[in-house]
Structure 1
Amino acid sequence: MPHRVDEGLAGTMKRVAASLKTAEIPFALGGSFAVYAHGGHSSDHDVDFLIREQDKERALQELAKVGFQTEEPPEDWLVKVYEDNRMVDLIYRPVETPVTDETLADTERISVEAIYMPVLSATQLMIHKLLSYSQHHCDFAQGLPVARSLREQIDWARVRRETAKSPYAEAFLVLLDRLDVVSLEPDEGKA
């Protein structure tokens, strides 16, 4: 059975994307809606967009102009906008790494609910998911459906390289190998 998204949240996502496009603020759709855009399994409780930190104030101003409520929470890696009770995160430093022009170039232009927008690549989505795991949050049950549903679109060698310092990512990749979701080839660069 295909996954359906919350129509109200999808409408909010489209209005934010259209406003950012109109204001010529570079962005990429991330999180569960990006997984959905790639045809994967996702849950949708909010919308995530990646923006550069230098664009956060202008993004908040532009979105406030079109009726969104804005919030600058104490966390120093995102700002938020709301439409009714629907939340949109504007993330400028996911997994402790600043969003750069290169981050925003690692996208595909995809029609999401009938509006074309840059969507973070499946590979980058998986990297962000794995690097978000820590001793305080390590719910592999959220990552498994994403890995299974997007596995053919993901550059697993790149995921492995870019998450090599995380023991949580390594454990997740071993789990994927043991479950026959993806095969982990031995790293030729290791002795």
Structure 2
Amino acid sequence: MPHQVDEGLATTLKKVASTLKAASIPFALGGSFAVWAHGGHSSDHDVDFLLREQDKEQALAELAKAGFRTEQPPEDWLVKVYDQDRMVDLIYRPVETPVTDETLHDTEQISVEAIYMPVLSATQLMIHKLLSYSQHYCDFATGLPVARSLREQIDWDRVRRETRKSPYAEAFLILLDRLDVVPLPDGQGALAAQ
């Protein structure tokens, strides 16, 4: 895997994954560590796991038994656990969409720090990144390294389909075309240039 990661966070990631696996709680690695697991580059390094909302209480209980401090923040889309001062987000509704069995099947089994675990597909990671952009947060610098480093692994037709209602995603995809990272389908690039 090409980029260095924080060893403490990597250890915490392994502890969370092994605890969830031992408890048979379905999950997927997401966020920047998932990008890294696919061999890509991400501009931030935090630990995110996706799980179904119905599994969050069991996950918190199992992680508390394993020595993690747990927190239910006011946000209604995630819970948090701490390994000393290292935080892990357990996300059950990313980008306003519930995590389902289908979400958790859109993964690849990858050895991450010597533990095989389900890692969100590169395509789904890109979709989540694009749908996170809004009028309150639209930093394309976070998405460009992901798009560049994982472009061959991403189903760009699916990304365009699943993000078509977002003007921010549309702008990002036009930017990728203009930067010669990922071309728009024939005809769309010309329309965007007008």
TM-score after normalising by structure 2:
0.94
Matches within 5 A, 1:1-191: 2-186=2-186
Provide the C-alpha distance between the structure 2 equivalents of 1:53 and 1:166, rounded to a whole number of angstroms: 25
- 2:15 partner amino acid: R
Provide the C-alpha distance between the structure 2 equivalents of 1:44 and 1:155, rounded to a whole number of angstroms: 23
Q: Identify unmatched segments of 5+ residues in structure 1.
A: none
Q: What do the CA deviations read for 1:4-62 (whole angstroms, capped 9, x no partner)?
A: 00000000000000000000000000000000000000244420000000000000000
- 2:72 partner amino acid: E
What is aligned with 2:192? none
Q: Secondary structure at the match of 1:89?
A: strand
Q: Secondary structure at the match of 1:102?
A: helix
Q: Secondary structure at the match of 2:143?
A: helix
Once the two structures are overlaid, the 10-residue window that deviates more, 40-49 or 80-89, is 40-49
Instruction: Extract structure 1 runs of 4+ deviating beyond 4 A.
Output: none
Specify whether residues 184 and 60 from structure 1 end up closer, same or farther in structure 2 by C-alpha distance, changes over 3 A only.
Answer: same
Shift of 1:3: 1.3
Kept after mapping to 2: 8 A contact 1:6/1:44: no
Q: Secondary structure at the match of 2:130?
A: helix
- 1:78 partner amino acid: L
CA RMSD of aligned residues (A): 1.4
Provide the C-alpha distance between the structure 2 equivalents of 1:44 and 1:181, rounded to a whole number of angstroms: 21
Kept after mapping to 2: 8 A contact 1:134/1:168: yes
Q: What do the CA deviations read for 1:104-159 (whole angstroms, capped 9, x no partner)?
A: 00000000011000000000000000000000000000100000000000000000
Number of positions where the alignment pairs a residue of Structure 1 with one of Structure 2? 188
Kept after mapping to 2: 8 A contact 1:82/1:88: yes
Q: Secondary structure at the match of 1:172?
A: helix
Q: Secondary structure at the match of 2:34?
A: helix
Q: What do the CA deviations read for 1:161-181 (whole angstroms, capped 9, x no partner)?
A: 000000000000000000000
Provide the C-alpha distance between the structure 2 equivalents of 1:183 and 1:101, rounded to a whole number of angstroms: 32
Kept after mapping to 2: 8 A contact 1:47/1:87: yes
Provide the C-alpha distance between the structure 1 equivalents of 2:186 and 2:85, rounded to a whole number of angstroms: 47
- 2:113 partner amino acid: E
- 2:18 partner amino acid: A
Kept after mapping to 2: 8 A contact 1:5/1:44: no
Q: Secondary structure at the match of 1:117?
A: strand
